[in-house]
Chains A and B, each alone.
Chain A
Amino acid sequence: NAGVTQTPKFRVLKTGQSMTLLCAQDMNHEYMYWYRQDPGMGLRLIHYSVGEGTTAKGEVPDGYNVSRLKKQNFLLGLESAAPSQTSVYFCASSYVPRQETQYFGPGTRLLVL
């Protein structure tokens, strides 16, 4: 049982490039989330999903897109990376959205030059 895994662990992009971050969970959770974490700040929700085939916007969705084609996977895409998207990205999943803890992946460090 690996829990929540994320790939890649680290990536450097040039402004304007695109990339996809992959999150996978093996706990059969319905809910999955993408957060970004910036220095001195807490986690900010980018997008989330309440089940396979569904996605919704969080607090800071601009510049990102997501897809949940399979229940166990949640993809975060950056179509045209900007330096302001330099951050650490965390994926999380949970059984129940507001009544149970979320389980987090190890994070992806993204640097946009």
Chain B
Amino acid sequence: GESVGLHLPTLSVQEGDNSIINCAYSNSASDYFIWYKQESGKGPQFIIDIRSNMDKRQGQRVTVLLNKTVKHLSLQIAATQPGDSAVYFCAENGGGADGLTFGKGTHLIIQP
């Protein structure tokens, strides 16, 4: 889930296992959600998005699930690889500014 402090939550998984990263979003008016991956020293990179008229969307090795009832978003990564090691954060389009509101991120660590 998302962190409200200085330390990011960490998820440690074995290489080859599936990873599930969770996000609780805040604005019930949000109707568009995105997952980003940020590797060390790089900018955020788009992974997958989903609109509120869908509950599930699949990409290559990734699946995003949306539960609007409890305002919860999850990212599933199948057969996790060393290259998946990064900080993952979600974004929603609710909020005051004319753009996206970002969560604080989860650090995914891959154990060999």
Contact = CB atoms under 8 A, between A and B. Distances in A.
Interface of A: 4, 31, 33, 39-43, 45, 48, 50, 56, 58-59, 90, 94, 97-107
B97 A106 contact: no
Interface string B1-15: 011011110000000
Chain B interface residue bracket vs A: 20 to 34
Q: Which of A39, A98, A106 has the most CB of B within 10 A?
A: A98
Contacts of B97: 45, 48, 56, 58-59
Interface centre among B6, B41, B44 (most CB of A within 10 A): B44
Given A39-B6, A40-B7, A101-B46, A50 B98 contact: yes
Q: Looking at chain B's contact residues, is the secondary structure mostly helix, strand, loop, or mixed?
A: loop
A42 B104 contact: yes
B43 interface: yes
B105 A42 contact: yes
Contacts of A103: 46
B42 A56 contact: no
Nearest to B92: A98
Contacts of B49: 101
A107 B100 contact: no
B89 A42 contact: yes
Q: Which of B46, B100, B103 has the most CB of A within 10 A?
A: B100
A101 B34 contact: yes
B81 interface: no
B11 to A, nearest CB: 15
The 9 closest A-B pairs by CB, nearest first: A104-B43, A40-B6, A98-B93, A42-B104, A42-B102, A43-B102, A101-B46, A97-B98, A104-B44
A31 B99 contact: yes
Nearest to B5: A40
Most buried by B among A45, A48, A101: A101
